[in-house]
Structure 1
Amino acid sequence: MTDSAATLVVGATGTTGSRVTSLLTAEGHRVRAASRRAVPVAGAAAVRFDWYDASTHEAALGDADRVYLVPPLACADPAAVMLPFLERARAAGVRRAVLLSSSAIPAGGPAVGQVHQALPALFDEWAVLRPSWFMQNFTGDHMHARAIREQGTITTATGEGRVAFVDADDIAAVAAHALTADRSPDTDLVVTGPQALSYGDVAAVLTEVTGRSVTHRQLTYEQMRERLALDMPAEFAAVLAGLDRAIAEGAEDRVTDTVQRLLGRPPRSFRAHVERAVALRTAA
């Protein structure tokens, strides 16, 4: 990589992309901030990018030699649209790619797992971020956050299963490190918070910090699938309910040292995240 080259951040207005863009520009890196409407982003060059419109791809790449990749949302087969772009990116001079995936999806797994599997053969320098579930799901605009605000409930089929929820700020910091470090990770990085919590634990922390009662409503897999299918295709509802069932079976009950090892500091705790979110909302 050269100092004069830029980083293309796909999804630069999204949850992680906006944070990655802010971190890189604050450190003096040139950033091409990609979004479907080329929304202006402070300190970066806004460029139009649409996964489904190949005519936007070449111009978005510009002189970038590294790229942060957020897959297209709600896409059952992201590899079909992502791999042709990544081949074009390599031909255009991109040397390092950092892909946002999920702790629930291994290399070769469904959806973005296929892109993960292909990445090492496409780029000499690469990393795949596999974060746990976002803490922002409870404080942002996710369905859990809306249900908490409107009904004081979190509804899942996770039972007593635990998740080491992670703050999007920590995910972005790991991404920025993977993009700019002298030596690329060349591996997948499972990114978690410091403690595995059940959704009942999450409800208890939210109650204590906000002063408003929040409860965890537990459903069976079948009940969750049927509930979700009211608002989305049945196949996608089954996938999401299946992720809850996997949590109930212990699939996400792990804590990694990725943040501490790469950044030299501990990841933010869920309580600290909620306290910060409440403080920001109060100050607004």
Structure 2
Amino acid sequence: MATLILGGGSQIGLQLAKLLGEAGKPVIFGSRSGTRVPEGTLSVRFDWDDPATFGAAFALGQKIDYVYLLGPSHDHDPLLKVKPFIDLAVRKEVKRFIVLSEGGGHTEKGPDSKKANNLIKNIVEKGPVGFIAVQDIAEIAFKAITDVESLPNKEPILVGPELVSYQEVAAILTEVLGREITYKVISVEEKAKRYEQLGLPKEFVADITQIEESLDDGFDVKLAADPRTIRGKLGIRQWIEQNKAAFV
């Protein structure tokens, strides 16, 4: 009864694989690059842009009951690529899909964006954000696989244990790192241009910036109050302290 982790090379995928491994649950890694595969873990090449790779995990001969699914992150309509795989997995009698969907743009590079110039840029002026740690997301995905009845519902909303502004994040970074980190509000147009320079499609960029703009209207405040919401455990200060070395 293996779990197939798609987007296995992601930080969440790696953390989920660790939790499953510690619990003695078999894991199959599916990733485009084939790098960052935990030692002793079965892995296959999986690429959302190459449907020929969709059946590789099932060809290994292990019964796959669960799929952790991280869809193509830069597609405006990811279902176009995801549905053919889901149809195949259903035919292979997969019991449950654990799907991670994003409420806004993010990067798993973590500290990298703060190392170069000690400056954080975004379009959010004062709106609080429910930053949630990779570990917390992975733990909830783990429960969805091993103890789904412990979750409050089948479509939980995940937010961090606290709501903090970008200005507060900059202040905490300054205190913990011992050097000044500043936050600069930029225009929607400048942020969109930065996303487009990263190669993101214009439709996707429009979605991201719209969600980021909504933070100033209390978007994450409303999410935090939603009865479907699960709050993470790791606060922003604790996360920065744990990852302090990566900011150097």
- Please indicate the TM-score interval, normalised by the length of the shorter structure: 0.7 to 0.9
Match of 2:79 in 1: 79
- Looking at both structures, which has the greater relative contact order when contacts are Cα pairs under 8 Å and sequence separation is at least 6? 2
For residues 1-284 of structure 1, the aligned pairs below 5 Å read 5-39=1-35, 40-61=37-58, 62-103=62-103, 137=107, 141=109, 145-181=111-147, 183=149, 187-232=154-199, 233-253=201-221, 254-255=223-224, 259=230, 267-278=233-244
C-alpha distance in 1, partners of 2:245/2:114?
17
Aligned-partner residue type, residue 99 of structure 1: V
Against the structure 1 CA distance between its residues 148 and 89, is the aligned structure 2 distance closer, same or farther, given a 3 Å change threshold?
same
* SS of structure 2 residue aligned to 1:163: coil
Against the structure 1 CA distance between its residues 97 and 270, is the aligned structure 2 distance closer, same or farther, given a 3 Å change threshold?
same
Q: Does structure 2 retain, via aligned residues, the 8 Å contact 1:103–1:190?
A: no
* SS of structure 2 residue aligned to 1:34: strand
Against the structure 1 CA distance between its residues 279 and 227, is the aligned structure 2 distance closer, same or farther, given a 3 Å change threshold?
closer
Q: Does structure 2 retain, via aligned residues, the 8 Å contact 1:221–1:244?
A: no
* SS of structure 1 residue aligned to 2:56: helix
Q: Could you tell me the percent identity over the aligned residues?
A: 30
Against the structure 1 CA distance between its residues 46 and 202, is the aligned structure 2 distance closer, same or farther, given a 3 Å change threshold?
same
* SS of structure 2 residue aligned to 1:12: coil
Aligned-partner residue type, residue 187 of structure 1: K
C-alpha distance in 2, partners of 1:225/1:281?
26
Aligned-partner residue type, residue 90 of structure 1: V
Q: Does structure 2 retain, via aligned residues, the 8 Å contact 1:167–1:273?
A: yes
C-alpha distance in 2, partners of 1:23/1:243?
31
Residues 236-279 of structure 1, C-alpha deviation per residue, up to 9 Å, x if partnerless? Answer: 4333322221112211224368556xxxxx61110000000015
Unaligned runs of 5+ in 2: none
* SS of structure 2 residue aligned to 1:42: coil
C-alpha distance in 1, partners of 2:67/2:13?
11
Q: Which runs of 4+ in 1 moved over 6 A?
A: none
Unaligned runs of 5+ in 1: 105-132, 261-265
1:154 offset after TM fit, Å?
0.8
1:228 offset after TM fit, Å?
3.8
When the two chains are superposed, the root-mean-square deviation of aligned CA atoms in Å is 2.4
Q: Does structure 2 retain, via aligned residues, the 8 Å contact 1:25–1:43?
A: no
C-alpha distance in 2, partners of 1:176/1:183?
12
1:182 offset after TM fit, Å?
5.7
Residues 69-100 of structure 1, C-alpha deviation per residue, up to 9 Å, x if partnerless? Answer: 00113122210110111011011010111000
| TM-score after normalising by structure 1 | 0.76
